[in-house]
């Protein structure tokens, strides 16, 4: 199998959202207990995934290349201020309190998902997903996000829902790797690419953006203000990827060609390693639907 199969994205997003709704309450309690907000839980998980190496700004930006270096620095310092990371000469490491918080989160996830009823084919779904995860580890691109996600594996003895959730998370991380591999050859920064994608308006969350101010409002959590967004978008105008009409931006024909080619490359990188037969694609589709129906019941 070397191409997308119809409906995969919609099925996985809906199943992931259903899982998230189930865990939202317990996760909020956990975050409040430890004074966490925003991307701080993800920062803790990045520190865990980096072990035994320290987590520094460069590693954060390798995993999330769309944010500013200052935002990465602020994330690490905030977690250190909360006592969950300890400064080291070469970055930050999890403190005992940080390890304890992550252990608590993992136990909460296992307990919550362990109480969910299973469904016929759940173990088969887990096996099919794990097989694709293992194939993607040999996919030939830099699988940094996937490798980090794998560090969070709950183990073979975990409840089947926890394993399904992890494998879906692994594949979502590999999708990030696939997309980064798709746009890196264009010699563009991560923030420029993200803003460009949101002007395009497809395969992104929320509504498209048309101005630097709209981009800053939507993507400001990355650490960039309107002036920085305008500078990045104007650089893409100069390259012929965008056209500007006053303060409004839109993709040029060249920009549209580039963005669509990058999306196709993302699909090729992502699905290229998958080893499902046509019958197994149909089986996986049905099992994902059954999983979603069970969570919605």
Give a yes or no: residue 64 inside a domain: yes
**Would you say residue 46 has pLDDT above 90?**
yes
Based on the domain organization, do 136 and 103 belong to the same domain? no
Q: Are residues 177 and 195 in the same domain?
A: no
Alpha helices in the chain (DSSP H): 8-33, 40-50, 57-63, 69-81, 96-114, 122-136, 144-150, 160-183, 190-200, 212-219, 226-238, 253-271, 278-296
Q: What are phi and psi of 219, to 5 degrees?
A: -115, 15
C-alpha–C-alpha distance, residues 104 and 20, integer Å: 17
Average pLDDT of the residues in 59-70: 96
Based on the domain organization, do 197 and 158 belong to the same domain? Answer: no
Q: Are residues 164 and 50 in the same domain?
A: no
Of the candidates 68, 97, 115, which is a domain's last residue? 115
pLDDT tier for residue 9 given thresholds of 50, 70 and 90: confident
pLDDT value of position 4: 61
pLDDT reported for residue 7: 79
End-of-domain residue from the set 115, 138, 153: 115
pLDDT band at 1 (very low <50, low <70, confident <90, very high): low
pLDDT at 24 over 70: yes
Q: Pick from 115, 150, 173: which residue ends a domain?
A: 115
For residues 55 and 99, membership in a common domain is answered with: yes
Kindly report each contact of residues 132-137 with a partner whose C-beta sits within 8 Å and lies 24 or more positions away, as own/partner.
Answer: 132/167, 132/171, 132/273, 132/274, 132/275, 132/276, 133/167, 133/170, 133/171, 133/174, 135/273, 135/274, 135/275, 136/170, 136/171, 136/174, 136/270, 136/273, 136/274
Do the domain assignments include residue 41? yes
Q: Residue 64's domain spans which residues?
A: 34-115
Tens of pLDDT, residues 92-115: 999 999 999 999 999 999 999 999
Query: What local confidence, expressed as pLDDT, does residue 176 receive?
Result: 97
SS3 263: helix
pLDDT at 179: 98
Inside any domain, residue 8: no
Mean of the per-residue pLDDT values of the chain: 95
Q: What percent of the chain has pLDDT over 90?
A: 90
**What is the reported pLDDT for 175?**
96
Domain count of the chain? Answer: 3
**24, part of any domain:** no
Per-residue pLDDT at 3 exceeds 90: no
Which pLDDT does position 27 carry in this prediction? 96
Q: Are residues 278 and 253 in the same domain?
A: no
CA 68 to mean position of chain CA atoms: 17
Q: Do both 170 and 197 map to the same domain?
A: no
Are 69 and 203 in the same domain?
A: no
pLDDT at 159 over 90: yes
Does 108 lie in the same domain as 245? no
Q: What is the CATH number of the domain that holds 210?
A: 1.10.10.10
Instruction: For residue 1, tell me if it sits in a domain.
Output: no
Query: Would 287 be classed as within a structural domain?
Result: yes
Q: What is the pLDDT of residue 151?
A: 94
- pLDDT score at 6: 74
- The reply to whether 122 and 107 lie within a common domain is no
Cα separation of 288 and 138, whole Å?
24
Question: Is residue 130 scored above 70 in pLDDT?
Answer: yes
Mean pLDDT of 249-266: 98
In a domain, 146, yes or no: yes
**Percent residues over pLDDT 70 in the chain:** 99
pLDDT in tens, 188-232: 999 999 999 999 999 999 999 999 999 999 999 999 999 999 999
Query: What is the radius of gyration, based on Cα positions, of the chain?
Result: 20
* 16-25, 63-72, 167-176, 195-204: least confidently modelled range: 16-25
- Domain presence at residue 214: yes
Question: Same domain for 146 and 292?
Answer: yes
**In this model, does residue 243 exceed pLDDT 90?**
yes
Looking at the structure, do residues 105 and 144 belong to the same domain, yes or no? no
Model pLDDT, residue 96: 98
């Amino acid at each position: 199998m070397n191409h997308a199969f119809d409906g995969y994205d919609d099925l996985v997003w809906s199943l992931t959202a259903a899982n998230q709704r189930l865990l939202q309450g317990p996760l909020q309690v956990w975050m409040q207990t430890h004074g966490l907000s925003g991307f701080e839980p993800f920062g803790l998980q990045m520190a865990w995934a980096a072990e035994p190496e320290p987590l520094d700004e460069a590693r954060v930006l390798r995993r999330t290349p769309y944010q500013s270096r200052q935002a990465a620095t602020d994330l690490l310092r905030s977690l250190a201020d909360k006592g969950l990371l300890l400064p080291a000469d070469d970055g930050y490491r999890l403190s005992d309190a940080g390890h304890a918080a992550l252990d608590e989160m993992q136990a909460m996830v296992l307990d919550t998902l362990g109480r969910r009823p299973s469904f016929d084919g759940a173990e088969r779904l887990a096996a099919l997903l794990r097989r694709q995860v293992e194939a993607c580890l040999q996919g030939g691109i830099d699988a940094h996000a996937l490798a980090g996600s794998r560090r969070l594996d709950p183990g073979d003895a975990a409840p089947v829902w926890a394993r399904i959730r992890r494998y879906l998370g692994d594949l979502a991380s590999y999708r990030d790797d696939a997309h980064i591999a798709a746009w890196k050859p264009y010699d563009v920064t991560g923030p420029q690419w993200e803003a460009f994608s949101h002007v395009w308006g497809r395969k992104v969350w929320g509504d498209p953006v048309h101005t630097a101010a709209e981009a800053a409002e939507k993507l400001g959590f990355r650490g960039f203000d309107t002036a920085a967004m305008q500078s990045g978008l104007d650089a893409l105008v100069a390259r012929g990827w965008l056209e500007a009409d006053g303060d409004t931006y839109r993709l040029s024909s060249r920009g549209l060609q580039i963005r669509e080619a990058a999306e196709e490359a993302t699909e090729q990188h992502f699905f290229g390693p998958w080893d499902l037969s046509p019958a197994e694609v149909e089986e996986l589709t049905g099992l994902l639907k059954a999983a979603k129906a069970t969570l919605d019941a």
